[in-house]
């Protein structure tokens, strides 16, 4: 659910949003609310020397999976790719960190990308 006054990025369909603005960004935070089962990811993207901040909000999380195939330590978590797929029971959102094999995948009822002021 969008916050009052927040505009969402363009949608490709009713449920699948455009996540291209997040690619190459830095994942700064990942928060799961176990009461509402919402997942919020903070992302910072440096575009032409200007910092843009976004929040990827996933509502009605049904499943959450994390895997790491890149050795640590990391100085930051690069959000190399973001994929959103329509599924029978909602959406599958994949956050790729650095390379395939490292990332976070969630099944959820809906998702949106919000700019953060």
The pLDDT assigned to 9 comes to 37
Q: Stretch 3-17: mean pLDDT, rounded?
A: 38
pLDDT category of residue 17 using cuts at 50, 70 and 90 = low
Q: State the pLDDT at residue 19.
A: 86
60-115 residue pLDDT tens: 999 999 999 988 889 999 999 999 999 888 999 999 999 889 999 999 999 999 99
The sign of the CA dihedral 72, 75, 79, 81 is negative
In this prediction the pTM is: 0.81
- pLDDT, residue 109, reads 95
For 66: left if phi > 0, alpha if psi spans -120 to 50, otherwise beta; the answer is beta
Angle at 89 between CA 4 and CA 15, to 5 degrees: 40
Q: Structural domain boundaries of the chain?
A: 20-116
| Average pLDDT score over the chain | 86
């Amino acid at each position: 659910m969008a916050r009052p006054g927040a505009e969402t990025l363009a949608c490709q369909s009713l449920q699948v949003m455009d996540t291209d603005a997040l690619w190459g960004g830095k994942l700064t935070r990942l928060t799961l609310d176990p009461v509402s089962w919402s997942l919020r990811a903070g992302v910072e993207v440096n575009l032409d020397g200007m910092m843009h901040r976004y929040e990827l909000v996933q509502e009605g999380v049904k499943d959450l999976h994390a895997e790491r195939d890149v050795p640590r330590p990391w100085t930051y978590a690069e959000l190399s790719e973001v994929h959103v797929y329509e599924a029978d029971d909602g959406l599958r959102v994949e956050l790729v960190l650095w390379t395939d094999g490292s990332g976070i995948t969630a099944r959820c009822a809906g998702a949106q990308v919000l700019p953060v002021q």
